[in-house]
Structure 1
Amino acid sequence: MLEKYEKWMSRFFTALGSMFFIILVLMTFVQVITRYVVNISFPWAEEFLRFCYTYMILFGLLTTTQIQVPLLRHFISQKIHYGWLLSSCLYVIMLFTLWILLQGGLKIYSMNMNSYYSAFKISKSWVYVPFVICIVLESIRIILALIHCAKSKALGEL
């Protein structure tokens, strides 16, 4: 189940991140050409590019697995008989940390709900939506990995 979830996340968010990257490159190119060649500037382009850049980075983060320390993983697998238990404890610590980050992300989102971009007239809080999405989806991945680790009694990814 974990492999299916990671494969789906990787495909879906690679496509989304790539789409935002292409839009970012094309819109920047159009903005440069119109500003310096035609001497026309679009006031909404900078705000639009900020959204694309934010979403591209955050969706790109969802395509990668967690960073692990190979030395720690080797030490746990060689020296500790119940390495899967330590791995499970680290998953719980990661979930707690993500929960704290989620609370902060929701607080920042709600603080910016009444602040609007000048060109789009939409709330600045929309820039923080991918942050919340990333935390929720990463939490789902960690929960699935924790369940897999507990069932198989094998050392999971740290």
Structure 2
Amino acid sequence: MIEKYERFINKLFLFLGSSVFILIILMTFVQVITRYLINISFPWAEEFLRFCYTYMILFGILTTFQIQVPLLRIIIFERFRYGWLLSSILYLIMIFCLLVLIKGGIKLYLMNLNSYYSAFKVSISLVYIPFILCLSLEIIRIIIAFISLTKTKKVREL
């Protein structure tokens, strides 16, 4: 089940990240052409590109596997008789830490709800939405892996 979820997440966010990257290239190209050839600059372009960079990076993060230490995984989790139990405990710790980060992201979102970028006239809090979304989807991935681990008792890569 986790493989199906990972394939969906990878394809969806690879598409979204690539689309935002193309938008960044086009917007930067237009900005350079208008600034140096026509001598006109769009004041909102920099803020728009900041949003695009934020979303592109977070979509890219969602398409990759978590950083793992293979030696630790091989020595402890696969050779140890109750490696699945240690892995389960680590999953629960990861879920707790991600929930704390989501709580902080929501707090930052609410703190900046009434602050606006000067040229773009959108809330600064919109930058925190992909952070909250990314962490929420990672929690879903860990929960699915945790359920798979408790059923099979086999440690696998997350």
Q: Which SS does the other structure have where 2:38 is aligned?
A: coil
- 1:61-76, aligned counterparts within 5 Å? 61-76=61-76
Are the aligned partners of 1:13 and 1:62 in contact in 2 as well (CA < 8 Å)? yes
Query: Which residue matches 1:12?
Result: 12
Query: Which residue matches 1:113?
Result: 113
- 1:25-104, aligned counterparts within 5 Å? 25-104=25-104
Query: Which residue matches 1:138?
Result: 138
Q: Give every structure 1 segment of 4 or more consecutive aligned residues whose post-TM-superposition deviation is greater than 2 Å.
A: none
Task: Give the paired residue count.
Answer: 158
AA of the residue aligned to 1:85:
L
Query: Which residue matches 1:24?
Result: 24
AA of the residue aligned to 1:80:
F
User: Where does the alignment leave 5 or more consecutive residues of structure 2 unmatched?
Assistant: none
Shift in Å at residue 156 of structure 1? 2.7
Q: Which SS does the other structure have where 2:4 is aligned?
A: helix
AA of the residue aligned to 1:60:
G
Give TM-score scaled by structure 1 length: 0.96
Shift in Å at residue 78 of structure 1? 5.0
Are the aligned partners of 2:77 and 2:87 in contact in 1 as well (CA < 8 Å)? no
AA of the residue aligned to 2:117:
Y
Q: Percent identity?
A: 65
Which segment drifts farther, 41-50 or 112-121?
Answer: 112-121
Whole-Å Cα distance in 2 between the matches of residues 134 and 157 of structure 1? 19
Q: Deviations over 1:43-97 (max 9, x none)?
A: 1100110010000000111111111101101112454111111111111111011
Aligned-CA RMSD value: 1.1
AA of the residue aligned to 2:41:
S
Shift in Å at residue 150 of structure 1? 0.5
AA of the residue aligned to 2:94:
M
